[in-house]
Amino acid sequence: MALQFAADGCAGIFERIRISRVLTAGLTLIAIVTFVAATANYFFPADPRDMVGPASLWPGTDARFPFGTDMMGRDMAAAMAHAAGISLTVGIVATVISVLLGVAIGLFAGYFGGGIDDGLMRVSELFQTMPSLLFTIILVVILQPSIGSITFAIGITSWPQIARLVRAEALRVRNLDFVQAAITIGMGHRRILFVHVLPNSIAPVVVAASILVAQAILADASLSFLGLGDPTVMSWGSMVGAARPMLRTAWYMTALPGGAIFVTVMSFMLIGNGLNDVLNPRTPVR
């Protein structure tokens, strides 16, 4: 009976995934971006920072450079393709850091309560009261701009929202009958946390994580735009920042990487909205 119920529940979720146009659109867009990032070295094996053609060549003017060249004669298509991998790497790894830290803090705060809950939530409030972008900038400046420092700084400043989500779920789950029964029979706290509390608290994190990836990509683009990106790689934000003086005469230099940021961020937002529809049975699937 229990197995049949679980199978019916999984079948219902898969059916909601299948008919969700929002989730399908988001997954399709991110699949395209991922394909571009994964094949960048194959289609553009040279260093994207190399000056390979005439400066400020408009898209469509030369078949060798379908997206044109920038003010230094660098291939825009190669730069955008390589930058896709950087943005996805920063966004996903930073989100993993945030989720691991947020889930751990939220679980301990919600399950144990009392002084542990108060102390961890005060730390969370301290992080939330500071402007996250400003805090990220300070950390990057201290650690020196690099992919690693940017990823760490974004991840370490983005965990409070995950922690609060997990804490709220853990507070709810710890008072359920099966958790109280596990405590009564003497089951250890670690086993209760990982076997009972965590699996029943993770659903909101799945939705929030996709939104966090989008926010991390925007934060990375903002840092690169401000000149705090890794100087050894190409990124969409640095491309937009470098092309500001050319905005009136060669607007494509900012429009193309800006459009790539928009599409990538929008795809993760669509995935988040789609997952929210799928995982919430009271919400109609769009």
Task: Please check whether residue 4 lies inside any domain of the structure.
Answer: no
CA-wise closest residue to 117 among 127, 107, 102:
107
Task: Please check whether residue 203 lies inside any domain of the structure.
Answer: yes
Could you give the CA distance from residue 9 to residue 5 in angstroms, rounded to a whole number? 6
CA-wise closest residue to 86 among 246, 187, 236:
236
Q: How many Cα atoms within 13 Å fall on the side-chain side of residue 255? A: 11
Could you give the CA distance from residue 172 to residue 184 in angstroms, rounded to a whole number? 18
Task: Please check whether residue 9 lies inside any domain of the structure.
Answer: no
Task: Please check whether residue 46 lies inside any domain of the structure.
Answer: no
Radius of gyration of the chain (CA): 23
Give residues with Cβ within 8 angstroms of 155, minimum separation 6.
Answer: 93, 94, 95, 96, 97, 98, 101, 216
Scanning 174-248, the segments in alpha helix (DSSP H) are 177-184, 189-191, 203-225, 236-242
Task: Please check whether residue 172 lies inside any domain of the structure.
Answer: yes
Name the 3-class secondary structure at 58: coil
What CATH number should be reported for the domain holding residue 109? 1.10.3720.10
State how many domains the chain has.
Answer: 1
Residue with token string 């260093």 = 47
Task: Please check whether residue 264 lies inside any domain of the structure.
Answer: yes
Could you give the CA distance from residue 258 to residue 254 in angstroms, rounded to a whole number? 6
Tens-digit pLDDT string for the chain (286 aa): 333 334 444 556 666 666 778 888 999 999 999 999 999 999 999 899 999 989 999 998 988 999 999 999 999 999 999 999 999 999 999 999 999 999 999 998 988 888 888 998 888 888 888 888 889 999 999 999 999 999 999 999 999 989 999 999 898 888 888 888 887 888 887 888 888 888 888 888 888 999 999 999 999 999 999 999 888 888 999 999 999 998 889 999 999 999 999 999 999 999 988 888 777 655 666 6
Confidence (pTM): 0.88
Task: Please check whether residue 58 lies inside any domain of the structure.
Answer: no
C-beta of residue 20 within 8 angstroms of C-beta of residue 274? yes
Q: What is the CB neighbour count within 10 angstroms for residue 5?
A: 9
* CB-count burial class (<10 Å; 0-12, 13-18, 19+) for 159: buried
Task: Please check whether residue 240 lies inside any domain of the structure.
Answer: yes
Hey, what are 174's tokens? 């710890």
Which residue segment(s) compose the domain that 146 sits in? 24-39+69-279
Helices (H) and strands (E) in the chain, counts: 13, 0
